[in-house]
Amino acid sequence: MKKLEEKILKDGKILPGGVLKVGNFLNQQIDTPFMKEMGEEIAEMFKDTGATKILTIEASGIPIAVSAGFAMNLPVVYAKKNKTSNISGDCYSTMVHSFTHGNNNNVIVGKEYISSDDKVLIVDDFLAHGSALVGLIEICEQAGAEVLGCVAAIEKGFQMGGDKLREKGYRVESLAIIEEMTDTEIYFREQ
Amino acid sequence: MKKLEEKILKDGKILPGGVLKVGNFLNQQIDTPFMKEMGEEIAEMFKDTGATKILTIEASGIPIAVSAGFAMNLPVVYAKKNKTSNISGDCYSTMVHSFTHGNNNNVIVGKEYISSDDKVLIVDDFLAHGSALVGLIEICEQAGAEVLGCVAAIEKGFQMGGDKLREKGYRVESLAIIEEMTDTEIYFREQ
């Protein structure tokens, strides 16, 4: 998505440790007209796939998942992060490591919200090492639901999470893929 | 909003401790067509007020804030919850007590996202004791921004948070106000 690449170049800030800050339009602050366009782009990618549900993870995945849900007219479910592993039996759960925060979160979804009848589209804002997506795929597997594919707004291609999932046979789409990032420059993968 | 009241009666579950669970349409799972209608209702309430920004708090406030942002064509900012009080100088921050989780969260918003030029509409999913809204109002005050009003999808009128804010002169609107809730019955305030 050319417009997203341009927005990253214009508004993104590269912070120490390879962190890309896009807080003024994607997370913390949401540029709603542009978020609507991204949702429509996702809808276009996954039209005619028979998706029944969108799954994301709190908190920063919610805006783009809701936008895609609006465009596709699909219910959106978000997994919750939980520090404790003391989970009652009425939830699917898995452990997800956050490289950004350097901690582990137990990620949970109530069993009533995903079933074996569902064809799920997983949506998130960022895809780096892929641990959040792997966790959400695991939750779909626990539910016996079909994973149609995964979409991220911004993929950090050089952190390999997306390509590892593609090698496993999952359909993974990203609206922009950063192939390389230096302290001052960002290079995108041709799509 | 009559349709929200009907949805609460149909889909809401009353749990021990006065908790109203509406996870199948408002949080955890979002009924997107209905969420869109709630956003449009909020837009109608606050049209012609000159709002420049919507402020909410992660995570469950984000869907309804984004929906209102879509309907009003306004940027949405969400405050983050943080267990530590070790906040750098580039954030507004305040402490918010969660009655649901029985803990305190430091609530933060980057200074770049709200300014003294902003006229802010605060949006959240639930309004009970009002501690989250009070925290978000404090953040607006720190920024020197004007608070145009607060909107919640569901207000628990019997927990008084909304009425305390109204007494202080704030415009507080809720799409449905629960006046009384027993173990089996829900009664709404006439609006």
Distance, CA of B70 to CA of B62 (rounded, Å): 12
B157-174 pLDDT, tens digit per residue, is: 999 999 999 999 999 999
A&B contacts, CB < 8 Å: 91
CB contact under 8 A, B66 and A63: yes
A43-62 pLDDT, tens digit per residue, is: 999 999 999 999 999 999 99
The nearest CA of chain A is from the CA of B152 a distance in Å of 18
Q: Which residue has the higher pLDDT, B105 or A162?
A: A162
Q: Which of A25, A27, A56, A78 best tests the B interface by mutation, with the highest count of B CBs <10 A? A: A78
Does the pLDDT of residue B135 top 90, yes or no? yes
Numbered residues of chain B with Cβ closer than 8 Å to any chain A Cβ: 23-24, 28-33, 35-36, 58-59, 62-63, 66-67, 69-70, 73-78, 80, 109-110, 112-113
Does the pLDDT of residue A189 top 90, yes or no? yes
B38-67 pLDDT, tens digit per residue, is: 999 999 999 999 999 999 999 999 999 999
The nearest CA of chain B is from the CA of A29 a distance in Å of 4
The nearest CA of chain A is from the CA of B190 a distance in Å of 30
Does the pLDDT of residue B100 top 80, yes or no? no
Does the pLDDT of residue A17 top 70, yes or no? yes
Does the pLDDT of residue A86 top 60, yes or no? no
Numbered residues of chain A with Cβ closer than 8 Å to any chain B Cβ: 23-24, 28-33, 35-36, 58-59, 62-63, 66-67, 69-70, 73-78, 80, 109-110, 112-113
Q: Which of B78, B93, B125 best tests the A interface by mutation, with the highest count of A CBs <10 A? A: B78
The owner of tokens 């009080």 is B85
Does the pLDDT of residue A68 top 70, yes or no? yes
Amino acid at residue number A107 = V
Q: Which of B7, B21, B25, B32 best tests the A interface by mutation, with the highest count of A CBs <10 A? A: B32
The nearest CA of chain B is from the CA of A73 a distance in Å of 6
pLDDT at B82: 80
Domains and CATH numbers, chain B: 2-188 (3.40.50.2020)
DSSP assignment of A101-147 equals: TTEEEEEEEEGGG--TT-EEEEEEEEESS-HHHHHHHHHHHHHT-EE
Average pLDDT, chain A: 94
Looking at the partner chain, which of A66, A73, A74 has a beta carbon nearest the beta carbon of B63? A66
Distance, CA of A187 to CA of B102 (rounded, Å): 46
Strands (E), chain B: 13-15, 19-21, 29-30, 53-57, 76-82, 91-98, 103-110, 119-127, 146-156, 172-181, 186-188
Distance, CA of B100 to CA of B132 (rounded, Å): 11
Which secondary structure element, helix H or strand E, spans residue A150, and what is its range? strand A146-156
Q: What is the pTM of this model?
A: 0.96
